[in-house]
Amino acid sequence: MRDYSTISLADARRDYLATSTTAMPIGGFIAWSALALAAYVLGDRLPSFAPFVAAAIPFPLALLIDKVRGEPGIQPDSRRNPVTQLFMRFITVVGLLIPFVIIAAQAAENLDLLILGLAILAGVVWVPHGWGADDPAGFIHFVLRAIVCYAAYLFVPEAVRGAAIAGAAALTYVYAIAAMRKPSTAR
């Protein structure tokens, strides 16, 4: 077990990257693509819980994908790394902001606002991940995601707006898959 109280920030970041997973953007792409398809096919009949599934399922999917690929994935000792702790706390912050999105979407009686809010909030977690991995791709992913999701909300016809927002979020994962630093570069 590593003593993180005596190592440099650079070493803690390297450990964070080494024990992170490349499967998160794959899981995110699958989840948000599925939501885009469901929103397109179901339209107004899309269950309001579906965007929550899309926002929450990438992490468990990533664990499964790592297992299938034989990758080590996230290690139990990672929780002692202060960089990992910051990332997990940020996920908690995002989780605490989600009720605001729910309240706003309910007040406006607009499922598209729920999809937009969850798409953007789910993207926020890429900022601390990128910082933790010393990789600008996390921040770029978030900015790109916010821009294309807002554009979908503002410029796509209402009948397919929710599908377009989810599709825009899914497409940003293509960038993340290609651009993010891989754990193998730190091992």
Tell me the pLDDT tens digit for each residue of 78-93: 788 899 899 889 889 9
Report helix, strand or coil for 157.
coil
Distance, CA of 159 to CA of 186 (rounded, Å): 45
User: Ramachandran region of residue 106, left (φ > 0), alpha (ψ -120 to 50) or beta?
Assistant: alpha
**Percentage of residues of the chain with pLDDT beyond 90:** 60
Who's near 186: CB < 8 A, 6+ residues apart? 14, 15, 17, 18
Question: Is the pTM higher than 0.75?
Answer: yes
pLDDT value for 58? 92
CA distances from 72 to 80, 172, 175 (A): 17, 25, 23
Q: Where along the chain do its domains lie?
A: 10-71+79-180
pLDDT value for 187? 66
> Do residues 44 and 164 lie in contact, with contact meaning Cβ atoms separated by under 8 Å?
no
Closest listed residue to residue 183, CA positions, set 73, 83, 78: 73
pLDDT value for 32? 97
Find the Cα–Cα–Cα–Cα dihedral 35, 37, 41, 47, rounded to 10°.
Answer: -10
Hey, what are 180's tokens?
A: 């993010």
Asked if the model's pLDDT at residue 77 lies above 80, the reply is no
Of residues 183 and 59, the one with the higher pLDDT is 59
Over the stretch 172-181, which tens digit does the pLDDT of each residue have? 999 999 999 8
Report helix, strand or coil for 68.
helix
Who's near 69: CB < 8 A, 6+ residues apart? 23
Name the amino acid, one letter, at 31. Answer: A
Hey, what are 125's tokens?
A: 């977690």
> Do residues 174 and 26 lie in contact, with contact meaning Cβ atoms separated by under 8 Å?
no
Other Cβ atoms within 10 Å of 62 Cβ, number? 23
Hey, what are 59's tokens?
A: 């992490």
pLDDT, mean of residues 154-171:
97
Asked if the model's pLDDT at residue 164 lies above 90, the reply is yes
Asked if the model's pLDDT at residue 165 lies above 80, the reply is yes
Over the stretch 118-156, which tens digit does the pLDDT of each residue have? 999 999 999 999 999 989 999 999 999 999 999 999 999
pLDDT value for 21? 80
Over the stretch 25-75, which tens digit does the pLDDT of each residue have? 999 999 999 999 999 999 999 998 999 999 999 989 998 998 899 887 677
Hey, what are 147's tokens?
A: 């821009």
